[in-house]
Amino acid sequence: MNLRNRKLLQYFAVVALAAAFAAGVARTNWVRSLENIYYDYWHLLSGVRYQPRHTVFVSIDDETLAALKDDPLVFWAPHFARAMDTLAQAGVKAVGLDVLYQVSAESWLRKLELPDSAASRNFDSPLRAALAKGDKILITQLVQTKGGKAQLLLPPEDHLLLLPAGTHDLGIGNLHPDDDKRVRHFYPSITSDPAFPGIGFAMQLALRAAGKDAAQNQWQIAGSVLHREPKSLPIGYTGPPGTIPTVSMNVLLQADALERPEVKALKGKVAIIAAGNAGSSDLHFTPYSRGLRSVQMAGGEIHANIVESILSGRCRSFAPTGNSFAARHGPVP
């Protein structure tokens, strides 16, 4: 081998080693931490990054809890139905109920072995009628059992049967914080198997709003192609907590709700009904949680930000490598 070829070989060897080193470093935690700090301060210093146009957060706030203080949550089916009917009349595209419940009022009353009555048999009828219309997504959670198996926490069976697509009208609401507890990414789906109801809650709502078939393996929305696969995408937050338009659920329960300007403004949007009261445990750290205040964001507003990201095409940039669902949480059966 002559001198020229030997130098050329050494050059390519150095380039290959440098590329391998850079690829290895890019996957290390400290580089990801630097990326996360940049990502956070990019949001924090920007403040409101863009005006949300696609979503509204229907808050189960202190006003709502005070108005319905005599009714335990298990008996809120008629209230949720009234709120959903108001939203439908206001012209929203889809409604997501971010309230995890596994028992209906009627089944709970049957457990008490109370005397049979029309009220106990038909208490949930308004909610069942609202669910049967096909523009509702109920939230579910994926949990790990003691045996390490994945399991979905499903709504009551009598409600599930009324959903036109059954379990495929559910959306998985798990949020996936990074190691520093901040939520920066979301999973459109946690599995590539269309037989498993594994599409995320916000993704389901975005698909409904965009008129897309949830049974497909990929979807083109706002210039982005999203795949049914367990890989995360960045959340393009619109701004700090409170940026997503918020309406108290109690407002939707009023007789004059449809005459109110904040309700008229809901036409064409995706509405997410979720906890927003002062004592809620559904609060999470986001990129806006740095600094002295370290404010948290309601889970319902995070889901609304994910919907905004999808429908506005703002989930295409910056995604850490090796960030698959299976890599972080294990395989889904």
- Do 19 and 136 share a structural domain? no
- Do 201 and 56 share a structural domain? yes
Other CB atoms within 10 Å distance of the CB of residue 33: 13
- Do 248 and 296 share a structural domain? yes
Terminal-to-terminal C-alpha distance of the chain: 55
Q: Report the pLDDT value the prediction gives residue 119, as an integer from 0 to 100.
A: 65
C-alpha 81/C-alpha 15 separation (Å) is: 64
- Do 98 and 62 share a structural domain? yes
| Residue 244: band (very low, low, confident or very high) from pLDDT cuts 50, 70, 90 | very high
| Residue 13: band (very low, low, confident or very high) from pLDDT cuts 50, 70, 90 | very low
Q: Mean of the pLDDT values across residues 247-272?
A: 97
Q: Mean of the pLDDT values across residues 33-40?
A: 79
| Residue 324: band (very low, low, confident or very high) from pLDDT cuts 50, 70, 90 | low
User: How many residues are recorded in the chain?
Assistant: 333
Residue with tokens 């005006």: 51
Q: Report the pLDDT value the prediction gives residue 30, as an integer from 0 to 100.
A: 53
Structure-derived torsion over alpha carbons of residues 69, 74, 76, 81, reported in degrees to the nearest 10: 170
∠ CA 280-285-287 to the nearest 5 degrees? Answer: 145
* Contact yes or no for 184/234 (Cβ under 8 A): yes
- Do 32 and 128 share a structural domain? no
- Do 105 and 13 share a structural domain? no
pLDDT at 67 over 70: yes
Give the global pTM: 0.85
- In a 13 Å sphere around the CA of 195, the CA atoms on its Cβ side amount to 2
pLDDT at 204 over 60: yes
Structural domain span for residue 206: 50-329
Q: Report the pLDDT value the prediction gives residue 115, as an integer from 0 to 100.
A: 66
- Do 169 and 80 share a structural domain? yes
Domain count, the chain: 2
Q: Mean of the pLDDT values across residues 98-124?
A: 76
- Do 244 and 130 share a structural domain? yes
pLDDT at 331 over 70: no
- Do 239 and 102 share a structural domain? yes
- Do 125 and 262 share a structural domain? yes
Q: Mean of the pLDDT values across residues 52-73?
A: 95
Kindly report, residue by residue over 264-314, the tens digit of the pLDDT.
999 999 999 999 998 899 999 999 998 776 789 999 999 999 999 999 998
* Contact yes or no for 147/92 (Cβ under 8 A): no
Q: Report the pLDDT value the prediction gives residue 195, as an integer from 0 to 100.
A: 84
Mean pLDDT across the chain: 85
| Residue 15: band (very low, low, confident or very high) from pLDDT cuts 50, 70, 90 | very low
Percent of the chain with pLDDT over 90: 56
* Contact yes or no for 138/159 (Cβ under 8 A): yes
- Do 119 and 37 share a structural domain? no
C-alpha 331/C-alpha 333 separation (Å) is: 6
Task: Identify the CA nearest to 304 among candidates 276, 265, 262, 278.
Answer: 276
- Do 187 and 110 share a structural domain? yes
